[in-house]
Amino acid sequence: MRLRTETRAHAAQTVMIVKNVPLPTDNLLLAALPAAVRRRLTADRAPVNLTVSEPLSAAGERIRHVYFPIDSFISLITPARGRGQLEIGLVGSEGMLGVPLLLDVNVSPLRAMVQGAGRAWRVDPKTLRQELAANTAVRSTFNRYLYVFLAQLMQTATCTRFHLIEARLARWLLMTRDRAHSNQFRITHEFLALMLGVRRVGVTSAASALQRRQLIRYRRGDISILDVQGLERAACACYAIDKQIYARVLGRKRRPPDTVSPSGVHDLQ
C-alpha cells in the first residue's frame, strides 16, 4: 500500500491528506479510450499537478482546459447570489471537468475549484471536440459519462431538498474519501457548511452525532473515518444510487470500438 502525506495551507482551511487507500494510477475515462485517441488527447504530455483551492473555471467563462483527475479531485460549485455558494458535485479519477464541451458548448455554467491536491491530465478543448466529431466510440464513452453526470446532479438536487444534514454529511464524507483515496482529511466546519449549503451550527451538530456513533473522529478540523460500512449505513441512499448508476453505465466491460453502432450509443442497461 502506498502512503503519502501532503500538507497544504490556504486561507480558511488547511487540508492534510494521509493517503491510506491505494492511489489510482490513471483516470478511468481516459483509460477506457483507444490508446491512439488517448495519446492525441494528452498530446503525450505528463499530467499536471493541481494544488488545493486552485480555481479551474469560473461560471460564465470560456473553458480553457479540460481536466481528467488521477489522484486529485475537484469541487463543482454554483454561486447562489446573496446566499453564498453550494457544492453540487465532486469529480475525481472517475470523471472529468469540462462536460459542456460534450454538448458543443465552450462556456462553464459552474465554478470549479481543486479540493484535493494531486495529478490530472490536462486536455485542450479543441482537441477533445475534434476527437468527439471524428470517432463514434469516443463519443459513446463520453455520452455515457454525460448520462452519469446528469443523473448524479439530479440525485444531488433531491438530496439537498429532502435529506437530513447528518445523512448528507455522511454521504459527502464518503464521496470525499472515494476521491481523496484516504480515510483521513482535514477540513473546517465553515468549509463543510459551505459545501453542504447549511449553517455552521447544523454541520457541528451532524458531525457530533456521527462521532457519538463512533463512525468518525473529528478533532479541530481533522476528520478520520473510523467505520466505512457504518458511515455507508448512516448516509442517505444517494451515495449508493450514485455508485450503482456509475457501475451500470460505465463500469461494465467495454465493447471493442469496431462493434459500436453508427450512432455511437450503446444500450444503457
Interface residue list for Zn ion (CB under 5 A):
159, 163, 236, 238
Task: Name which of 63 and 238 has its Cβ closer to Zn ion.
Answer: 238
In single-letter form, the type of residue at position 199 comes to R
Q: What are phi and psi of 135, to 5 degrees?
A: -140, 115
Q: Scanning the structure block, which residue is given the C-alpha cell 444534514?
A: 165
Closer residue to Zn ion, CB minimum distance, 33 or 236: 236
Smaller CB distance to Zn ion: residue 159 or 216?
159
Minimal CA–CA distance to 163: which of 237, 225, 213, 246?
237
Rounded Cα gap, residues 74 and 69, in angstroms: 8
HSE-up of 66 (CA within 13 Å, CB side)? 24
- The DSSP result for 183-200, as a single string, is SEEE--HHHHHHHHTS-H
Q: Which is nearer to Zn ion, 74 or 238 (CB)?
A: 238
CB of 258 to Zn ion, least distance (A): 40
Shortest Å, Cβ 88 to Zn ion: 13
Cell of 102: 460534450
CB of 37 to Zn ion, least distance (A): 36
**CA–CA separation, 156 and 62 (whole Å):** 25
Q: Which is nearer to Zn ion, 66 or 159 (CB)?
A: 159
Which is closer to Zn ion, CB of 3 or CB of 162?
Answer: 162
β-pairing, 73-79 with 13-19? unpaired
**Cα(177)–Cα(163) distance, rounded to whole angstroms?**
20
We find the least distance from the C-beta atom of residue 173 to Zn ion, in angstroms, to be: 13
| Residues 83-93 as b or e (16 or more Cβ within 10 Å = b) | eebbbbbbbbb
Closest alpha carbon to 99 in 72, 58, 66: 66
* Shortest distance, position 165 Cβ to Zn ion, whole Å: 10
The partner residues of 112 in beta bridges, in order of sequence, read: 57, 76
Cβ of residue 29: shortest distance to Zn ion, in angstroms?
A: 25
Cβ-based nearer residue to Zn ion, 70 or 167: 167
Burial class of 199 by CB neighbour count within 10 A (0 to 12, 13 to 18, 19+): exposed
- Least separation in angstroms between residue 34's CB and Zn ion is 36
236 or 250, CB closer to Zn ion?
236
* Smallest separation (angstroms) from Zn ion to the CB of 1: 31
